[in-house]
Amino acid sequence: MKKFFKYLFAFVFSVGIISQSYAENPKSILKNFAKRAEKHNVNGVLALIDGSYKQVQLIGMLKQDTTQFLNELFCGKNIKDDSKFKCVGFNDIKKCTFTGMKKIKTPDINKIYANAYFKVETNAGEVYKVQLFLVRIQRSTDSLYRIAGAVG
């Protein structure tokens, strides 16, 4: 019986360590999002986008037009000409790099957590600074992070 509890304790302890190591890190989510965008992984990118944002923007406004949704997600200013604002077509993305985030102070833990910044290079060689939002969803034991863009 002692052996059983010993193995049970070891199992529970190892599961705790594994689940802790897989707890979502905001920066790893954003880096993963950039990699998926660069590889044009539509389902991978959509999986990391906040469900409420998809409900409003993709389903409500764009009538489930995934192509238009993704083409309008990566909008920002041209790095060389700061006044030129453009949306980069999803399939025009040559390189997407997560460049940083700035936390937003908010009393509600289930709101926008941070501004997330990406450098997006197009196939034509233009480079844009894109700002998206990192949304935090508080769960019973941890936080889930997802990405959102502008609405409208």
Q: Is residue 12 part of a domain?
A: no
Distances (CA, A) of 2 to 5, 7, 8, 65, 120: 5, 9, 10, 59, 58
Q: Is residue 84 part of a domain?
A: yes
Q: What is the mean pLDDT of each run of 10 residues along the chain (152 residues)?
A: 47 42 76 98 98 94 95 95 89 98 78 92 97 90 90 72
Q: Please give the pLDDT value at position 105.
A: 83
Pairing of strands 127-138, 143-148: antiparallel
The range of the structural domain enclosing residue 120 comes to 24-148
Q: Is residue 7 part of a domain?
A: no
**pTM (predicted TM-score):** 0.80
Q: What is the number of structural domains in the chain?
A: 1
Q: Report DSSP state, residue 89.
A: P
Q: Please give the pLDDT value at position 70.
A: 97
Q: Please give the pLDDT value at position 100.
A: 97
- What CATH number is associated with residue 38? 3.10.450.50
